[in-house]
Amino acid sequence: MPRTTVPVVLLVLAALLTGCEPTHAGEGPKPVDCTVVVDGPEKADTTQRIEGRVRFRCGKPGAEKLTVKIRMEQKSGTKWKVVTSKSFTVKGKQTIAAELKYQNRTVSIGCKDGTFRTVVDWSRTSRGNTESDNLISGSMSNPCKSLFGDR
């Protein structure tokens, strides 16, 4: 390699190793992206409970703040009624999950008949930018029962 190429290669390598963050429109580092997924109610593996779950993960270095309200609703006629809910806020490294994994939080109630769904309202703050959404799972009738009786 010619001598003039070595310093250029070293400079490029140093820039790559310093972990430069991408910018957008010359405004500085772009906000951290977060993925939030809502799972429909199902029978918990080891208990006689119906569980609704939210899964989430954010890119590094994590969101400054991720606020999530998860609730389980039961259908009553044509309307949905909240049967349980929980709110939580996580920050920084608490919002990051291992590769191809998610952090998760759940709400649960004792097994009973009916049609249920999981609803999640979430908001992420990162680098002066806020993003939020409302997610609704599909509904599930009698999650504690299978075709062959109680599970």
Nearest CA to 122 out of 82, 72, 87 is that of 87
CA distances from 46 to 43, 58, 83 (A): 9, 29, 21
d(CA 112, CA 35): 31
46 is written with which tokens? 């080891």
pTM: 0.77
Here the tokens at position 116 are 């249920």
pLDDT at 106: 96
What's the full length of the chain, in residues? Answer: 151
* Residue with token string 């500085």: 28
Q: Which letter does DSSP use for residue 148 in this model?
A: T
pLDDT of the chain, 151 residues: tens digit per residue = 555 555 554 444 444 444 444 444 556 789 999 999 999 999 998 889 999 999 999 999 999 999 999 999 999 999 999 999 999 999 999 999 998 899 999 999 999 999 999 999 999 999 999 999 999 999 999 999 865 555 4
- Please answer whether residues 137 and 41 qualify as being in contact, where contact means their C-beta atoms are separated by less than 8 angstroms: yes
What pLDDT was estimated at residue 45? Answer: 83
CA 130 to CA 40: how far, in whole Å?
26
Which SS3 state, helix, strand or coil, does residue 11 take? helix
